Amino acid sequence: MIRIEDLTHVYPGGRRQPPRTAVSDLSLHVPEGRFAILSGPNGSGKSTLFRILCGLARPSRGRVLIGGRDLLADPAAARALMGVVFQSPAVDKHLSVQENLAIHAALYGLAGAAFRDRMAEALAWTDLEGRLGDRVDTLSGGLARQVELAKCLLTRPRLLLLDEPTTGLDPASRRSFLTALTRLRRERGMTVLMTSHIFSEAEDVDSVAIMANGRLLAYDTPQALRARLSGDVLVIDSAAPDALAARLREDLGLTALRNGDELRVDDPPNQDAVGLLERVLAAYRPLVRGITVKQPALEDVFIHVTAEARDDAGDGRGAATSEHQESAA
């Protein structure tokens, strides 16, 4: 459904600013009926890629096919297949749910009975039943987001693009929103691509793409990504992470990846993580604020992959292998 080929986007520089490459030679395939999450640290290029996919920005190079339609050559045909939920609210909060839906429907020539049918169909995926006459600013944040979803569904898209749709929602509202997306994928065969920083959301989707510095570092199923870290992870919170990392390297031959004040030793070689925890505490107690051993979750893979890319390349650039791209496809 989405095929991105060798996509590059460079923001032109100004008098004082050099050109900036936000997306670099990125290829990604999301087959029809899959739910994929796009993740990456701040500034990794997610929003730029999202804007290109919605047709809001034209890439410097590369090709994007949406349902076989060339987004750059025939944007109207490609856009007709998609519904988009942007990060910033795109509903009028002073109007009721129904009024918001009616305005959006009118843009697509839907009115009268046709509109009412489509509205009922769209609302069936949400928890908005009984709230049609309520002004959007009287709804909870979670329900207000569902109005955006219902708006997109009015046009029966085959692809849903969502930019951090659950940011700011409480866990229960997040869960309801994701349940609606999962049902749309399962019962309607809809393709869903969503950007997110919340890794608990990614545990049950079909595939997860991890970007950094405009490049795709990994793209695979959550299970396959988790399997990249086979053993336990030792996580150390330290007031002096660089000094402690140097000690671990010099004294114990261990590579620790730094993430803020945290050091992580993934799957420690030649010893179990609990044994290592005891050794670290015994030898470097003054440098340790907190220490724990845990089973790797997706978030740990994300930290591992992005930190490794930073360490490997120095300039933060890593490269996804075609193997990862294909296995998720």
Ligand X SMILES: Nc1ncnc2c1ncn2[C@@H]1O[C@H](COP(=O)(O)OP(=O)(O)OP(=O)(O)O)[C@@H](O)[C@H]1O
Residues that bind ligand X (CB under 6 A): 11, 20, 22, 40, 42-48
State the minimum distance, in angstroms, from the CB of residue 47 to ligand X.
3
d(CA 74, CA 293): 52
One-letter amino acid at 230 equals: S
CB of 2 to ligand X, least distance (A): 17
Which run of H or of E encompasses 241? helix 241-252
104 vs 174, beta carbon nearer ligand X? 174
Q: How far is the CB of 4 from ligand X (least distance, A)?
A: 14
Rounded distance, CA 140 to CA 222, Å? Answer: 31
Hey, is 233 helix, strand or coil?
A: strand
Burial (Cβ within 10 Å: 0-12, 13-18, ≥19) of residue 68:
exposed
3-state secondary structure of 4: strand
Distance, in Å, from the CA atom of 129 to the CA atom of 168, rounded to the nearest integer, reads 23
What is the closest distance, in whole angstroms, from the C-beta atom of residue 146 to ligand X in the complex? Answer: 23
Pick 11 or 86: Cβ nearer ligand X: 11
CA–CA gap between residue 234 and residue 269 (Å, rounded): 12
Q: Least distance from C-beta 69 to ligand X, angstroms?
A: 24
Provide CB contacts within 8 A for 204, sequence distance 6+: 182, 222
